[in-house]
Structure 1
């Protein structure tokens, strides 16, 4: 029996917490996945997973084994990349992740265009607002917004964004306290928020967070923009959501003197992996096309 037999199935189950999902990802039956895991556990003489009808989770021994196996598969993928770097035609699997709303509206349309031009490329894209571990998750590429924490990842800036505070002329006309001129006046207004009630500003050359509140919270920038255009309140969103409405007069920019400097939109990838043609060309296209 090969030492690598069952390793791919084990890692995939560990990362998906599901025998069924692992089978679909590997294009094999659930029964075959289960058989490989059972044989692996028998060979190791230890239990790797706790199994119930609703949940699959790793044992302590399974977690230790997973860390080593994930590194083995990463090394094998590096070996494949070393070969694929010699090829000019993008081909093979790209595992990537991006924020949900930004990924849906901006990243995925570019990815789909890329796949039409390069039909030998397969993409698994995880749209999530969680910060995932690229190495342990086996990702080739992540799209991140805003300020990057220090990490071992390599980063390439694809574009920039600026946050704007906006409201419709209709809202301003009926607002009890009129146009806000200072950050403290935001507390008097109905602020429509996304995934955080804190808005970011620059005051006296220092970054400042201001807690705001209102009667609508939604992680969709598009929906918040529509609500603001309908006069429901004040929003803070990146320019790619509000530029058209501002240019058309549907929204007015407020508190512009407190705006933070532009922040980056980034492509991240593990620094121990050279960018293969399929990744490099996708990143180049994103840098060209992202607003």
Structure 2
């Protein structure tokens, strides 16, 4: 027995007050309506209507069951309507993650503009300087810098970001020289930001050829701001994304060196699980970032 169909038939009989009228409204034969009602009563082991040749009336059990059936059927209609509207009008919660400093500078302003256009969407923005497992942590969308290693995810690039080697002028004065070649960094103090170089290996570039430099230092940190602060304080040379240090480059607190050996730019990716049934709100945000973030990065 199709319970939902049986409930629908039962409610229609109660509304019309007649088996024949209910059958006509539903476009079904009278015998089929009678059979469905009989099957429902048999399943519930109770009589839902008192029937005579002239009249049909709900029993007390029927009135109680009718109230529940109306609620169930209304919930189904509202759920289907909500899903239908979601296909055209983005709404609901999106959980999004991005690196802390990049999120503060670029993602949060873009999200603000997005929410002004789509006020029915809610966004939980998590700024983290670590790679999260999207599926395990319930993340809908991640913004990641660098090439994607997880083939189970989709990566959509929205731009490129530079990496730069920088140092405080005070440390250069202390050393008395400016390194001219990447290999010199191996013998100099370095601040190791594990968000870029988790193994303390810096990947520089010499005319298209990658150079791997093992650096050393007495400060390793997974937070970009703290690592930059250590570099400003003169603890060592640092390798950072340019947006992480540009305010201090502009103010003169840090100086970029080895420009000709600058690493290859890294892609900024929108990362999300493979799915043919991506919610409209998430798809809309992906499309938004593809244009809005891209424009912000190239201003």
TM-score calculated relative to the size of structure 1: 0.61
**What is the rounded CA distance, in whole Å, between the counterparts of 2:111 and 2:286 in structure 1?**
10
1:188 aligns with 2:191: no
C-alpha separation in 2, matches of 1:257 and 1:162 = 13
Does 2:281 align with 1:278?
yes
C-alpha contact 2:142 2:272 (8 A) present in aligned 1: yes
How many angstroms does 1:188 deviate by?
2.6
Structure whose CA Rg is larger: 2
Residue by residue over 1:163-222, the C-alpha shift from the partner in whole angstroms, topping out at 9 and shown as x without a partner, is: 10011222211115x111112211232211111222121235332332212232222222
Correspondence for 1:151: 151
1:210 to 208, 213, 217: 213
Segments of 5+ residues of structure 2 without an aligned counterpart are 1-79
| Conserved 8 A contact 2:158-2:267 | yes
d(CA) in 2 for partners of 1:156, 1:252: 32
> Partners of 1:145 and 1:98 in 2: how far apart?
9
1:102: how far off?
3.8
In 2, Cα distance between equivalents of 1:125 and 1:257: 37
What SS does the aligned partner of 2:216 have?
coil
1:120 paired residue number? 120
261, 264, 267: which one aligns with 1:264: 267
The equivalent of 2:226 in structure 1 is 223
Alpha-carbon distance, 1:117 to partner: 4.6
- The 8 Å contact of residues 162 and 238 in structure 1, kept in 2 or not, is answered as yes
1:107 Cα deviation (Å)?
Answer: 2.8
Q: Cα 1:121–1:145, aligned 2, differ >3 Å: closer, same or farther?
A: same
Q: Is contact 2:187–2:216 with CA below 8 Å preserved after alignment?
A: no
Report the RMSD for the aligned CA atoms in angstroms: 3.0
Look up the match of 1:242.
Answer: 245
CA distance in 2 between counterparts of 1:133 and 1:174 reads 43
State the match for 1:164 in structure 2.
Answer: 164
Distance 1:185 1:80 in 2: 65
Contact in 2 for aligned 1:81/1:276 (Cα 8 Å): no
Distance 1:87 1:180, change over 3 A: same
The alignment covers a number of residue pairs equal to 211
For 1:276 and 1:163, how far apart are their aligned partners in 2? 34
Question: Is 1:94 aligned with 2:97?
Answer: no
* C-alpha contact 2:98 2:144 (8 A) present in aligned 1: yes
Q: SS in structure 1 opposite 2:267?
A: strand
Mean Cα deviation higher: 166-175 or 100-109:
100-109
Corresponding residue SS for 2:189: coil
Q: 2-side partners of 1:128 and 1:242: how far apart?
A: 18
Q: SS where residue 216 of structure 1 aligns?
A: strand
Contact 1:163 1:260 in 2 (8 A): yes
CA distance in 1, matches of 2:233, 2:88: 53
Mind listing any 5+ residue stretches in structure 1 that lack a counterpart? 1-78
CA gap of 1:83–1:200, structure 2 versus 1, over 3 A, is: farther
Distance 1:182 1:158, change over 3 A: same
* Partner in structure 1 of residue 254 of structure 2: 251
2:117 and 2:250 mapped to 1: Cα distance?
A: 34
